Amino acid sequence: MTRCVGCLANLTNLSIIRVVERHKINHEVHDAWEMSSYGATLSFLNRNIKNVIASEYFPGTKSGESLNGTLCQDVQCTSFESGSLDLITSNQVFEHVPDDIHGYKECFRVLRGGGALILTVPLYPIKETEQKAKITNSVDVVHLCEPEYHDSRAGGANSALVFWRHSVNDIVSRVNLAGFNSQLIKVEILPDQDDPQLVVYARKITR
């Protein structure tokens, strides 16, 4: 199975949605941010949550500004006020963030206590996360190995540079560096699914 025949959601979308549903059973969610301006996850959030903010990242555009009618947000430096959101969802974004840990910290800042960051990234069976590229002098890209690019609806084919090759063994500890209490949830949509989808469920727990 690659897509739901009803809503056209792919396996990753369906898995994120499943974790969001579990979170909502015990936690009120009034304000959510989805790091995409399209897709099945956003459609689900719009149907089930009162206030949903969708965005894309456009290089050269400041967070909080719009480009061609679409809101821009850089997860490393958003325009959201501290403690203003209950939920953040992210589907295959953080591998493209130059400083992913700083991005997790920014998500922690803007979430309310009890809020959650629910994300997926490509996960590899390697010892630890590998950095593939970095930014120097704020603008210059330095490739540390063979460059890798992914397609992006906003930027087009091969437009999104991969900065990180995330390890299944340390993704939770990396997210927890931001202050989260995280776990890696295995989601099975179908009983005959080859491998479960891995979703990071990170909660901001306050005392």
Residue 77 contacts residue 110 (beta carbons within 8 Å): no
Within-domain flag for 1: no
Model confidence over 156-191: pLDDT tens digits?
A: 888 899 999 999 999 999 999 999 999 999 998 877
Within-domain flag for 111: yes
Model confidence over 6-24: pLDDT tens digits?
A: 555 688 999 999 999 999 9
Q: Which domain holds residue 70?
A: 11-125+167-203
CATH of the domain at 27: 3.40.50.150
Within-domain flag for 92: yes
pTM here?
A: 0.93
Residue identified by tokens 């989805």 is 34
Within-domain flag for 155: no
Domain count, the chain: 1
The pLDDT of residue 7: 52
Within-domain flag for 145: no
Q: What CA–CA distance (Å, rounded) separates 164 from 99? A: 9
Q: Quick one: pLDDT band at residue 206, thresholds 50, 70, 90?
A: confident
Within-domain flag for 2: no
Q: What angle do CA 115, 119, 122 make, to 5 degrees?
A: 165
